[in-house]
Structure 1
C-alpha cells in the first residue's frame, strides 16, 4: 500500500499522528511489518547498543492483551466503573496492528542512559515514519498502561526495561487532522558565541 511521495521531504511534511480508535483495516501485512521494523532499527544508536525492542501483538493475541489490561486496571482500581472497563477493552482492540516498543537500556561506560533514551525515541519515530511511507497511519500512546508494573512485567525481559509506548497502526478511517505546529521562530535560534 505504498504511498507515492514525490520527494522524501513531502513524506516528512505530511506525516501526522492518527487517533488509534480511528484506524481501520487494512493494516500492514507481515512483509510490511518486517520492513517497518527494519526501518525503525535504522536509527542513531551510539555504541550500536540497540537499547529498544519491538513486540508485535497480533490480532490473535488481542484477547489475551485485553485480559492483561483488565486485570492490571482492576488491580490498580478495585472498583472501576462500566465506562472505565469499556475504555480499557477499546484500547486493547483498536487498530489492525499493535506494536509495543520497550526501552531496553544497556549497561555502558561510554553511552549514558540519556543517549539510549534518545535512540529509543528515534526508533519510535522511524517506526511511525515507515508506516506512513507505506500508506498507513499510526498513533503512539502511553497512558496508564505504559506505566503499569503488571503490564510491563508481561512484556519486559529485563528488570530495567520500560514501555516507551503502544503503537497502533492501520488505515485512517477518517481524514487525519493537522494540529497546530510551533512557529519556526519559537523553536529555532542562532547561537552567535
Structure 2
C-alpha cells in the first residue's frame, strides 16, 4: 500500500475480531511505530501487549480502578469497563517514557510517543488490519498505571485495539484542506 494512500484513507475501526495479528505482522507494526520522530534519539516509548486471558485481567483492573473512585458506581458501569478490553483480540498499551533532557522537553517526548501510536495505526491499515486508539479515564488512572507496572516517569498515551475488520471498513470523512491551512499574516502582529 502506498504511504500517501494509507495516510489519506486510514480510519479507526471499532468492530474487531480475531485472530490477533501474527508474529510477522507484529514485527511490522512495531517496526513502523519505532520510526516515530525522535529528537535526541531518546526512544521515549514502550509497548505492552495484552491478549487472551490477560484482556480479562485488564478488565478486572479497569473495574477495580472505577470502583475505587469516590461516589457510587453502578453495576452496569463496572460491567461495561470490565468488558472493554474484550473488544479486540490484541491491545497495545502505548507508554511514554519521559526523560529529563536539556533540549527535549517532556511535551515533545509525549508527542513522539503519540507518533509511535499513530505509526501502529498506519501500519495496521497497511496490513489490512483494523485498529482503534482509545484513551479515556483508564489511561489517566493511577491505579491502572500501577497495575500495568508503569514507573513514575511514564504515562499511558493510549490503548490501541488491533484485530481483523468486522464488516465493511468505513470511508474516511472528507475534509477540505483549505479549511485547516492558511498563510501566516505577520501584519497581525502590529
TM-score (structure 2 length as normaliser): 0.90
**Is the contact between residue 56 and residue 82 of structure 2 (CA under 8 Å) also seen in structure 1?**
no
The answer for unaligned runs of 5 or more in structure 1 is: none
Aligned to 1:153: 146
Structure 1 residue 190: deviation in Å? 2.2
Residue number in structure 1 paired with 2:49: 56
1:136 and 1:171 in contact (8 A); partners too: yes
For the 8 Å contact 2:96–2:155, the answer to whether it is kept is yes
Distance 1:120 1:181 in 2: 27
The alpha carbon displacement at 1:120 in A equals: 1.1
In the alignment, which residue of structure 2 is the partner of 1:42?
35
Alignment of 1:134-145 (within 5 A): 134-145=127-138
- In structure 1, what is the equivalent of residue 80 of structure 2? 87
Structure 1 runs (4+) greater than 3 angstroms displaced: 178-182
From the superposition, tell whether residues 181 and 155 of structure 1 become closer, same or farther in structure 2 (CA, over 3 Å): farther
1:14 maps to: 9
8 Å contact kept, 2:10–2:172 = no
Query: Is the Cα–Cα contact under 8 Å of residues 17 and 164 in structure 2 kept in the other structure?
Result: yes
Q: 2:170 matched to 1:187? A: no
Q: CA deviation at 1:156?
A: 4.2
Give the Cα separation in 2 of the matches to 1:137 and 1:71. 29
Q: Distance in 2 between matches of 1:43 and 1:17?
A: 19
Please give the alpha-carbon distance, in whole angstroms, between the structure 2 residues aligned to 1:163 and 1:117. Answer: 9
Q: Under a length normalisation based on structure 1, what TM-score does the superposition of the two structures give?
A: 0.88
Deviation at 1:166, TM superposition (A): 0.5
In structure 2, list runs of 5 or more residues that go unmatched.
Answer: none
Matches within 5 A, 1:42-121: 42-76=35-69, 79-121=72-114
Distance verdict in 2 for CA 1:146–1:115, change over 3 Å: same
Whole-angstrom distance in 2 between the partners of 1:161 and 1:154: 13
Structural RMSD (CA): 1.8
1:113-170 deviation line (CA, Å, top 9, x unaligned): 2221221111110010111111101100011111111001122432021110000001
Which stretch has the larger CA shift, 152-161 or 34-43? 152-161
Q: What SS does the corresponding residue of 1:168 show, helix, strand or coil?
A: strand
